[in-house]
Amino acid sequence: MPSSFAALADRFLKDEFEASPVMASALGLTEYDERLDDLSAAATLRKEASDAEWLTRLRALPDDGLSPAELIDRDFLVSILRGREILRPHRMWRRQPSTYLGPGSSGVFSLFLHRIRPEKDLAEAARARLEQVPANIEAGIANLDFSLVPGVYLERGIRQANATARYARELVPNEVQDPKQREALAAAGEKAAVAIDRFTAHLEANRGRARGEWAVGDEIYSALLREKELLPYDALALRERGRDQYDLLAAEAKKLARDISGNDDWVGLLEQLNKVHAPDPEGMRREYEEWTERARSFLRDRGLVTLPDGERCLVEPSPHFQRPVLAVASYNRPPAFSDSLKGHFFVPFPPDGTPEAEVQQRLEGNSSAGIPTTAVHEAYPGHHWHLVMAHSNPSKIRRIFSTSYFSEGWALYAERMMREQGFFADPKHVLYQFEATIFRAARIVVDTSLHLREMSFDEAVRFMMEKANLTEPNAKAEVGRYCSWPTQASSYLTGMLEILDIRTRWLARKGRNDTAALREFHDAIASSGALPTSL
């Protein structure tokens, strides 16, 4: 019989799934496959009220009677709900156009990505979801307040809408073989695309009115750090930590550059190395695939982690609808409630129609010497390995929810650990791993400065180009992401430093730091999920 807390957690999760069938479906709960999230103002306000009730209820639970694991899960849920409460006054549903595009595109894409059900069932579920897209679009037209919508959100929304309309109209029907099902999907996709085109026109017509602010300010940013991420510092302290780390890491990069080229200009050296890259996006994908397998073999041969039976990581082009808003590699985990351990590592293909000169710039951002680091970060032992290990955690809460301060901190820790263990044998590869960490330090500086209103969008782009070795298209895409997602960009290096501290204390308690002890640490912490590091 489940404990009273387990029963309460199940009721909370049911409310979450009812509010977001797309999330539930992506977790492998196929009974939600035909439904799309309700994004109306009434539904949004109901969800806010429900979150407030759950926060009060969970905070009131006494510690007595909860097991140690349940105490952690309770505190984790409180941190998640408190994070939502902190951001509520910012009213993202009034200012973020992508709110009304994401569920439709990702909700259809995830069905065919994981293919848990027979194709005819997937086709019917996708058709049902596509037919609900116009309701989401109408909600967006009704809900967006252009006095709140920042120009950067609007422009990202237009790009995302164009890609999403093409996905619905041209690409979704090709996911099925049966001609009748394809025809039904094409009709539903056209209906969705027409609605999305109407949304695009609405956004374009209101360009001149989009004068909102994306910066959340010190109070919200610091509250998110302290009460959602459970960290002991505020935005200003985090920014200074980012600056200090940048200086330390840049000094190491200078030494490496001097060893490689006789000159300590590491930025100039990386600019030269960026010119060595695959000739086209598919060649880039193949390089990522090769290094993903090399990283897996290194882990297996050295015994640094336990590889679960049946796990696989597929290296694939990024989804079409994602390309206009995400210029870096990403990862999609196996559904938490399925038996599959197959993950998807998405390589950053340029948006359709990108001019050839910009394609080459984007390829420079995925240079051959930098790819090994990204393969480690996204796949082995980064996101993919971590999440297939967490898949076996008995807590539903920990299989479903995560904080990027652990998940991204873990992936950056994975890079560092692989450097420590000798995976990056070529000094140029080592330089790129340092550059990847410097990039995360620069992210902290920019993310905090943007939301503290101390840096403009253009100043942030210049900073990332000059200090983080980004090309201009990638820098603009990155900064647009930071504006849309306060505190996330700061999570990578912050989380890595917290995990390193946990490792130091773990190995000290063990009284040894051999490979077996390191493997035990990796297996234990990865299996725990992606909790705030203080939990």
Q: Is residue 215 part of a domain?
A: no
Q: Which of 177, 209, 241 is the last residue of a domain?
A: 209
Residues 6+ apart with CB under 8 A from 470: 365, 439, 464, 478
Q: What burial class does residue 163 get, using C-beta atoms within 10 Å of its C-beta: 0-12 exposed, 13-18 middle, 19+ buried?
A: buried
Note whether 467 and 325 are same-domain residues.
Answer: yes
Domain shared by 200 and 236, yes or no: no
Is residue 256 within 8 Å of residue 434, measured between CB atoms?
yes
Element (H, E) at 317: strand 312-317
> DSSP assignment, residue 40?
S
Instruction: Say yes or no: 162 and 96 in one domain.
Output: yes
Beta pairing partners, 342: 312
Task: Collect contacts of 334-339 with beta carbons under 8 A, ≥24 apart.
Answer: 334/114, 334/387, 334/388, 334/391, 335/26, 335/27, 335/28, 335/114, 335/116, 336/27, 336/28, 336/391, 336/396, 336/399, 336/400, 337/27, 337/28, 337/29, 337/399, 338/28, 338/114, 338/116
Angle 427-451/491-510 helices, nearest 10 degrees?
120
- Per-residue pLDDT tens over the stretch 251-283: 999 999 999 999 999 999 998 999 999 999 999
Q: Which residues contact 102 (CB under 8 A, 6 or more apart)?
A: none
Mean pLDDT of 297-315: 97
405 and 307 share one domain = yes
Is residue 273 situated within a structural domain? yes
- Strands of 342-347's sheet in order across: 312-317, 342-347, 330-332
User: Are 377 and 334 contained in the same domain?
Assistant: yes
The SS3 assignment for 344 reads strand
Same domain assignment for residues 417 and 276 = yes
Q: For position 1, what pLDDT does the model report?
A: 41
Minimal CA–CA distance to 83: which of 421, 445, 404? 404
Share of the chain above pLDDT 90, in %: 89
Average pLDDT over residues 282-286: 96
Q: Is the sign of the CA dihedral 67, 68, 73, 77 positive or negative?
A: positive
Question: Do residues 343 and 400 both lie within one domain?
Answer: yes
Q: Is there a single domain that holds both residue 161 and residue 89?
A: yes
H or E stretch covering 345:
strand 342-347
Domain boundary among 152, 178, 209: 209
In which region does residue 472 sit, left (phi positive, over 0), alpha (psi from -120 to 50) or beta (all else)? Answer: alpha
- Binned at pLDDT 50, 70 and 90, residue 319 comes out as confident
DSSP symbol at 171: I
Q: List pLDDT tens digits, range 338-376.
A: 999 999 999 999 988 889 998 998 899 899 999 999 999
**Domain for residue 218, yes or no?**
no
- Residue 532, token pair as written in the block: 């705030």
Mark whether 378 and 513 lie in a shared domain: yes
State residue 407's pLDDT score.
96
Q: What is d(CA 121, CA 210) in angstroms, rounded to the nearest whole number?
A: 41
Q: How many domains does the chain have?
A: 2
- Identify whether 535 is part of a domain: no
Domain co-membership, 65 together with 195: yes
How sure is the predictor about 2, in pLDDT bands with cuts at 50, 70 and 90?
A: low
**Of 153, 179, 209, at which residue does a domain stop?**
209
Q: Which helix (H) or strand (E) holds 315?
A: strand 312-317
**pLDDT level of residue 3 (50, 70, 90 thresholds):** low
- State pTM to two decimals: 0.92
Pairing label, strands 312-317, 342-347: parallel
State mean pLDDT over 466-479. Answer: 85
Residue 162 pLDDT more than 60? yes
Judge if 93 and 152 occupy the same domain. Answer: yes
- 533 found inside a domain: no
How far, in Å, are 24, 166, 465 from residue 365 at the CA level?
34, 26, 11
User: How far, in Å, CA of 65 to CA of 71, rounded?
Assistant: 9
In this predicted model, what pLDDT tens digit does every residue of 432-469 receive, in sequence order? 999 999 999 999 999 999 999 999 999 999 999 988 87
Give, as one character, the DSSP assignment of residue 328: S
How confident is the model over 379-391, as pLDDT tens digits? Answer: 999 999 999 999 9
The percent of residues in the chain predicted with pLDDT above 70, rounded, is 99
Which structure tokens are listed for 41? 């103002």
Look at residue 532 and tell me if it is in a domain.
no
What pLDDT sits at residue 378? 98
- Inter-residue contact 169 to 110 (CB < 8 Å): no
The DSSP call for residue 263 is S
- Same domain? For 235 and 290 the reply is yes
Please state, in angstroms and as integers, the Cα–Cα distance from residue 517 to each residue in 508, 510, 513, 514, 533, following that order: 10, 7, 6, 5, 20
- Tens-digit pLDDT profile for residues 31-43: 999 999 999 999 9
Q: Which domain holds residue 134?
A: 4-209
* Inside any domain, residue 322: yes
Give the Cα-Cα-Cα angle 509, 511, 516 (nearest 5 degrees): 100
Distance (Å) of CA 14 to CA 19, 24, 228, 272, 304: 9, 9, 22, 53, 38
Structural domain contains residue 534 = no
Indicate the average pLDDT of the chain: 94
